[in-house]
Amino acid sequence: MEIPDMSSKKLPCRPEMFDFEGISMTHFFTENWEKVRNFQSRPDDILIATYPKAGTTWVSYILDLLYFGNEDPECQTSKPIYMRIPFLESCFQEFSTVAGTEMADSLTTTPRLIKTHLPVQLVPKSFWDQNSRIVYVARNAKDNAVSYFHFDRMNMVQPEPGDWNHFLEKFMKGKNVFGPWYDHVSGWWEKKQTYSNLLYLFYEDLVEDTGREVERLCSFLGLSISIEEREKITKGVQFDTMKQNKMINHVTIPFMDFKISPFMRKAQSFRVGGVSTRNMAESMNAASVVDGKFVLKYFSCCINLHWLRSCYAAS
């Protein structure tokens, strides 16, 4: 499949959100819903699932290198990652006639790597029926909210985010595209307890020791790589390296305004974040004190020690 020429396309009007199957969505992720719902998975498919801005591209690239880095190295520098790893529910008709389901069906690689931001209850039934492998990545709410805010600012197919305080209010009410953060991470965590082919990773663990998490992925997927290969992949997926890779950093996507913000900002957790990140997180702390319901939900989702630490971090 050739890279679509989207340079002549005009930026769309930002979409409105609406309730879809109990969560907030936009038409970009529902217009092709029948084909999404009826998508036919295969037993050797690997689904990469996350809440938006929780490490999707990072883990996608790790998996891409694990399976195809040696087999098809030219692809790493000639084909954008969104074509190598289709976004299942996406349907950006203003820019391309190819929906995510069509891109996935056209993949000739084995296994097929496919990404989704769907909450667990909306994942096509065939993934469970085929016992497909799934890698889920969760990120603590504070970092996730800050990253999602900057993403919405620069992504013209996302709803207008407003200022940080407005966005934060929506985030805490669960009124973002793909629904509440806490329902998403906890829903997938619960599924992990009954579905053995699901690996649940944490963004903070990837930041802390990427090589260790690459080993976890290999163990889950039944892959055996040498120490040299692991070190090569770990080096290749370091944030500064990916940020300079035009096939990874999404600069080929015309509806993202990189003058506002880069797609890839900082691969940091709250514990080591910059001043602006800390300030935003502190404002989230203050707002959480007012919203007792969010506090309870956030604590109920603190299924990782890093997250519990971030609850109490003041700076």
Catalytic residues: 117
Q: Characterise 137 by phi-psi region: left (phi > 0), alpha (psi -120 to 50), beta (else).
A: beta
Task: Scan for tokens 């974040």, then name that residue.
Answer: 273
Structure tokens that stand for 130 in this block: 């085929």
- Distance separating alpha carbons of residues 197 and 186, to the nearest angstrom: 17
Euclidean distance between the first and final Cα of the chain, in Å? Answer: 48
User: Which amino acid is located at 132 in the chain?
Assistant: S
- Distance separating alpha carbons of residues 251 and 268, to the nearest angstrom: 21
- Distance separating alpha carbons of residues 91 and 24, to the nearest angstrom: 16
**Cβ proximity of 122 and 140 under 8 Å:** no
Task: Scan for tokens 């989702």, then name that residue.
Answer: 301
Task: Scan for tokens 């969010």, then name that residue.
Answer: 294
How buried is residue 215: exposed, middle or buried, by Cβ count under 10 Å (0-12/13-18/19+)? middle
**Cβ proximity of 177 and 29 under 8 Å:** yes
- Distance separating alpha carbons of residues 76 and 20, to the nearest angstrom: 36
Question: Hey, which bits of 117-216 come out as E strands?
Answer: 133-138, 198-202
What's the CA angle centered on 42, arms 224 and 37, to 5 degrees?
Answer: 135
Q: Any bridge partners for residue 136, and if so which?
A: 49, 200
